[in-house]
Amino acid sequence: MSGFFKKLMHGFSQDSDPVTNYEGSKGVGLRIENLNKSFEDNHVLRDISLDIQAGETFSIIGPSGTGKSVLLKHIVKLITPDSGKIYIDGQDIFAEDVDKKPKGYRYSMVFQTSALFNSLSVGENVGLWLREKRVCPENRIRRIIREKLRLVGLEGKEELMISELSGGMKKRVAIARSLAMNPDLILYDEPTAELDPVTSDELARVIMDLKKELQLTTIIVSHDLNFALYLSDRVAMIDPEGIVEVGTPDQIKASENPVVRKFIYTTTKGIKGED
């Protein structure tokens, strides 16, 4: 019971917090220690430990159903672990008293399913956080919405309703909605899954530009290997047994680990194998 309630109460104490320092992002470090999570007898996450530096672009790759989305949901506190800890910016995010004080950083997540608010228009989706938090005056909010939509190639689409969008457009609106928060930590769950190659390239450029401009920490879960390897400072490969390997894209490509090699040198989706 308290679990259900705690979930609903998520964000209760921060609700009336003023949003300080909207302009800049600082990038926060993230440390995950021995995270375990089971759903009934399905042990999804096994002893996951990761250390992600402030300002780093970090990708997580791995087969379907290994708990990548579940891992991201732990980081944004939608799921609580059975055991293990997550530190963001040095703070244990699951500590008892953590909701009592302001966090001092912002995170946002692009859901695998986009999870847009169906009853709102595109512009209202992107601006919801700004408006609810009273971050800035309305005309400024409109400008921010236009700017973020432009970044994802949806300029001038503010008035469309969510049901009128294609899957790829929804994903891009979700990305714009996350960017509107100016987060210090941004999580992308399959950002390119529904995008065409050209839009994927553009998204890659946007993510790189953001990183240069804002030094934010980026975590990407993707099956799009070229995308992940191209963008990332480091990549982690996860499989049902836990984390298999962590390294720079070059290290991953050169890995001797058979699990990693099998995953990335495939015919249709991987990078071209050297035969």
Ligand X SMILES: Nc1ncnc2c1ncn2[C@@H]1O[C@H](COP(=O)(O)OP(=O)(O)OP(=O)(O)O)[C@@H](O)[C@H]1O
188 touches other proteins (CB under 8 A): no
Q: What is the DSSP string of 26-93?
A: ----EEEEEEEEEETTEEEEEEEEEEE-TT-EEEEE--TTSSHHHHHHHHTTSS--SEEEEEETTEET
d(CA 269, CA 275): 16
Question: Which of ligand X, Mg ion, other proteins, none lies near 172, with the C-beta cut-off 5 to 8 A by kind?
Answer: none
Q: Is 142 in the site for other proteins (CB under 8 A)?
A: no
Q: Which amino acid is at 67?
A: G
Q: What are residue 235's DSSP bridge partners?
A: 59, 247
Least Å distance, CB 226 to Mg ion, is 19
Write the interaction track for Mg ion spanning residues 102-131; mark x where CB under 5 A is met and - where it is not. ----------x-------------------
Q: Choose one: 47-55, 59-67, 83-91, 134-142; the region binding ligand X (CB under 6 A).
A: 59-67
- Candidates 48, 116, 126, 169; binder of other proteins (CB under 8 A) is 116
> Should residue 192 be labelled a site residue for Mg ion when binding is judged by CB under 5 A?
no
Provide the minimum distance between the beta carbon of 1 and ligand X in the complex, in angstroms, as a whole number. 18
Among 2, 16, 20, 64, binds ligand X (CB under 6 A): 64
User: What is the rounded distance in angstroms from the CA atom of residue 26 to the CA atom of residue 75?
Assistant: 18
Token pair in block for residue 194? 């529904």
User: Which residue's CB is nearer to other proteins, number 135 or number 229?
Assistant: 135
Question: Which residues are bridge partners to 189 per DSSP?
Answer: 221
What are the tokens at 246? 């962590």
Site of tokens 């938090």:
133
The residues in 27-66 that bind other proteins, with binding defined as CB under 8 A, are none
Q: Is 3 in the site for ligand X (CB under 6 A)?
A: no
b/e per residue, 182-216, with b = 16+ CB within 10 A? bbbbbbbbbbbebbeeebbebbbebbeebbeebeb
| Binds other proteins (CB under 8 A): choice among 50, 169, 176, 181 | 181
What residues line the site for ligand X (CB under 6 A)?
39, 42, 44, 64-70, 112
What residues line the site for other proteins (CB under 8 A)?
1, 4-5, 7-12, 14-16, 73, 76-78, 107-109, 111, 113, 115-119, 128-129, 132-133, 177, 181
